[in-house]
Structure formats: structure tokens, C-alpha cells
Structure 1
Amino acid sequence: MKINGFTIWLTGLSGAGKTTIAEKLCLALNKRQVPCETLDGDVIRENLSKGLTFSREDRDINVLRIGFVAALLSRNGVGVIVSAISPYQEARQQVRAKIKNFIEVYIKCPIEECERRDVKGLYKKVRSGALTGFTGISDPYEEPRHPEIICFTDTETVEISVNKIISYLEEAGYLPTLSLMDTLQDKSINEA
């Protein structure tokens, strides 16, 4: 069965769990032999968007650059997982319009929980005044209006969130169900 490329766009506040879900989702797709790439917002900003500020214009440029790379990969049969705050609805909509198989996943987590986790120590820097223009505190985060999937990471385990995404991919026809995959693998083994 040919797997069509797709882009899973994980958006949410810093500390919501985007990167963790992206990593686990990529592992799950690899187990199903789906070619997969993750595009992490922090990594892209360091390598592809170095020098951009955190102004609205530069944040949008960063999102559009990530979207460009995701479109190239997904149109060539790769399952792309983007984990980027991507705070503005308009930029996300522009990316959606350019990617054929785009699936927006809102990694929803209350800011209080994100701040409690403070994985990167960013909230602490914001509260001390060392960091300004921070999404969700001193800069807006525009929640997705109609995401295909919402993961509530303050109440769901990572596994539940990943399974939600996998189930969506199966139901939408991007992935065969496990039982179908098992049948296809058994058939190929028997034909060998």
C-alpha cells in the first residue's frame, strides 16, 4: 500500500508538549515503516531561520519557511511532523493552503501548567524580566479555530495524544489500520 505524504502541524504554547508528542509520533510511524521527518520550531529557528527576531513579521516568516519545507517533504511521500508554537492563525492558514494533506493538531495546555513544567526555563526568564515578547504572556497566542485534533496535554498522557493522531491518520486514510498492515505484511512474507 502506498502511503501518501502528509503534514501533522502541532501548535501550542511553549511547554505544552509539542516536541515530546512529535518524537513519540515519529517513532510510532517508523514502526509502521512510514517515512517520517520532524521539523522542530527551535531547531529550524537555529538552522534555517537564524537571525530572525520574535516580531510578528519574523515569526510568520519562520512559520512559512517551516511550511515550505514540510510541503516539499509531504508531496514526496514523507509523513512530516511539525512542532512549532506558530502563534498566529493567519500564518497557519497560509501554510494550510499550500500543503495538500495538512492536519492541524492543537496541543492544548493551560499556561499555568506550561509554566509549572518550564522545561526550557523560559517562563522563569519572562517573570524575571530577562525575556520579553513571550507567546502567551506578553505576546498573543491565537488558538486554532478548527483543528482536526485537540490534545489536552494537562490531562492526557503522551500515549493517548499520539494514539489520537494515529487514529485520525487511519480514519482519514493516510495510514492503513494495524490489522490491515499485519495482513499486508503476512501476504508479503508468504509471497517471498
Structure 2
Amino acid sequence: MVLWLTGLSGAGKSTIAQAVHALAKPRMPGLVLIDGDVIRALFGAGLGYKEADRYQQIGRIQRLAGMLSGQDIRVIVAALYCHPDLMAWNRANLPGYFEVYVDAPLNLVRQRDVKGLYARALAGETSDVVGVDIPWHAPQAPDLIIDTANETPAQSARRLMQAVPWLAELVSTGGRNDG
């Protein structure tokens, strides 16, 4: 079972994924969180940020999520790059795949800009930024859209848990899993 969150940098993917993980982990000890930034750091600086590198990065995450899910481990992924071919692969190959579009308008993520990414890109100090000089491909048919401009991360996490079948039971039982 794979829960995949995607959205622009600064949309709230990691924050929401971490909140869901924190709420669910006590009742699902085998739950794993895969964050794109963490995977990039884990595998070193071998990949850049060009579109081809981003495609390869998502491929790594897909294979890792698939391997874990194949061992009956439930997986939450928070990853930026969202190409239609990659999302189609996810649907065809990841068991129990549930796709979440963490939507935030470009002007809002530029305002948040916790990493200073957009400011550096707009100042010409960096390139290869999704939503600036790399096209953003919003998911074509997500299972859930979360609008982070209009709800808090805690509200988003709870709504997401209610929508995902294998997490919904935890919400309805207040976190108890008596099975």
C-alpha cells in the first residue's frame, strides 16, 4: 500500500506526510515515510536538479516504495516531481496506490519559500526549479486534492487519513487498532 503526496516545493507535502506518519505510526509500526529530500541526501550528490535528474530521482523512490510495499510494508511518499508518465507507472505498479495532490498556488509557495528556492531562481542565482524554469505537471487524476491555502497541515493530515482506506480505520477508532 503506497500513499503518494506530490505538489510544488513549499506546498506542504513533507509537513502533511510527517503529520500522517506521526499519527499512524504508533498503530502501524511497519509504516515507512519516504521523503524526496531525504532520499536525495541519502544517495549523495550524484543527481542534479535538471528534469532528467528529477525523473531518475522519482524512479529511485518508485522502486524503493514498490520493494517495501511488496513486503507488506505500508509506505507514505512525499515527492516533488510529478510527470504524467511517472504517475501512470505508479498506478500500474504500486499496490494500493493512493495519489494526493498537495495543491498550493505558485504565488503562495513563493511567499512561503522556506528553502529560499524561488527567491534564488527569480534572482537568476539558480536554475532547474520546478514551477519556474521546469514545467510543473499537476497530477491529472489524483485520488485526493488538498488545498493548503485553505486548511492547516493538521486539518489536511486528518482529512487525508479519512480518505485513504488503510488509514481511515485509525481515524474512526481514534487511533486504536484492536485487530
- Scaled by the length of structure 2, the TM-score of the pair is 0.90
Task: Sort the Cα spacing of 1:181 and 1:118 in 2 relative to 1 into closer, same or farther, 3 A.
Answer: closer
Residues 47 and 182 of structure 1: CA distance in aligned 2, closer, same or farther (over 3 Å) = closer
Residues 17 and 153 in structure 1, CA contact (< 8 A), matched pair in contact too: yes
Residue 117 of structure 1 deviates from its aligned partner by 0.6
Q: SS state of the match for residue 169, structure 2?
A: coil
Structure 1: 4+ residue segments shifted above 4 A: 180-183
Does residue 98 of the first structure (1) align with residue 85 of the second (2)? no
Q: Name which of 38, 48, 53 aligns with 1:53.
A: 48
- Cα distance in 2, alignment partners of residues 38 and 182 from structure 1: 20
- Equivalent positions of 1:161-172 (< 5 A) are 161-169=156-164, 172=165
- Give the aligned partner of residue 66 of structure 2: 71
Q: How many residues align?
A: 178
Return the letter of the residue paired with 1:56. Answer: E
% identity of equivalent residues: 31
Q: What amino acid sits opposite 2:104 in the alignment?
A: C
Q: Does 1:133 align with 2:128?
A: yes
CA contact (8 A) 2:102 2:145 kept: yes
User: What is the distance in 1 between the residues matched to 2:174 and 2:113?
Assistant: 41
Q: Which runs of 5+ in 1 are unaligned?
A: 1-5, 186-192
1:153, 1:174 → 2: CA distance? 20
Two-structure CA RMSD over aligned residues (Å): 2.0
**Deviations, residues 4-56 of structure 1 (Å, cap 9, x unaligned):** xx111110000000110111010111132352111111111122363112222
Give distance in 2, aligned partners of 1:151 and 1:57.
27
Q: Helix, strand or coil for the counterpart of 1:107?
A: strand
Q: Which aligned pairs between 1:1-192 and structure 2 lie closer than 5 A? A: 6-48=1-43, 50-169=45-164, 172-173=165-166, 176-177=169-170, 178-179=172-173, 182=176, 184=178
When the two structures are superposed, what TM-score results if normalisation uses the length of structure 1? 0.85
Q: CA deviation at 1:70?
A: 0.5
Following TM superposition, by how much is the alpha carbon of 1:134 offset from its aligned partner in structure 2, in angstroms? 0.8
- Structure 2, unaligned stretches of length 5 or more? none
